[in-house]
Amino acid sequence: MASGEEDAAVEEKETNNKKRTKSAIATAWLTIYNIAMTAGWMVLAVAMIRFYLHKGTHKGLYKSISRTLKFFQTLALLEIGHCAIGIVRTSVIVTGVQVSSRIFMVWFITNSIRQIQNEESVILFVVVWTLTEITRYSFYTFKLLKHLPYFIKWARYNLFIVMYPLGVVGELVTIYSALPYVRRSGMYSLRLPNKYNVSFDYYYFLIIVMLSYIPLFPQLFLHMLRQRRRVLHGEVIVEKDE
């Protein structure tokens, strides 16, 4: 009997050691990831400031930063994997929607339709994204390091009140500006007849995307407001760790 109890104790100890090792590896990886993403978006911010100070105009700004923007925004796909394997405690679906919508704006709207790249709305959402991501990734970095400055925490749970609506306005106006070019070019559309016997109109798809903001924006914004209230009142919440 004693031998059986000892074996069980050894097995439990080994299991706990494995869990601690996995946790340490996950924490190290998330720390590296968030530091890299913070640095990437800061590089983007500096590049935008330097461009504007040198040129004195926003025209051509998007083209000058597009590679950096596409790289770091696409790298955020890793966050879906983090949720899927359980090292970050948040919904895979929610994270997937958030990341995919950003990548869609970058690759299938702004990058694909060069005629709109100098629109003020493009600069608006890029600036908003940059400020938001610098705050978000630095928040998670300091949190993982267990040394979270108050001003970072304050920025994380207050700036979105202004930034989130501004970002949505920038995205919607950008999509709206793209509609005439999409309609004329027929890009990404599939007309009948074809061998797949399927029809797809990218123009109407973009209209549906714009309409989807009506139900989604209030839900996500109210969710952030609830998180803000809980944090400011010192309540324990489960939120995205990266």
Instruction: Output phi, psi for 117, to 5 deg.
Output: -65, -20
Q: Tokens in use for 172?
A: 């919607």
Q: What is the mean pLDDT of the chain?
A: 89
Residue 119 annotated among the catalytic residues of the structure: no
How many distinct helices (H) and strands (E) make up the chain? 8, 0
Q: Is 171 a catalytic residue?
A: yes
The whole-number average pLDDT for the span 5-9 is 52
Tens digit of each residue's pLDDT (9 = 90 or more) over 219-234: 888 888 888 888 876 6
Catalytic: which of 62, 171, 202, 242?
Answer: 171
Cα–Cα distance, 131 to 136 (Å, whole number): 9
Cβ of 234: how many Cβ atoms within 10 Å?
A: 6
- Residue 54: Cβ within 10 Å count: 9
C-alpha 145/C-alpha 39 separation (Å) is 16
Mean pLDDT of 70-87: 96
The pTM (predicted TM-score) of the whole model is 0.88
Q: Which residue has the tokens 């995919």?
A: 100
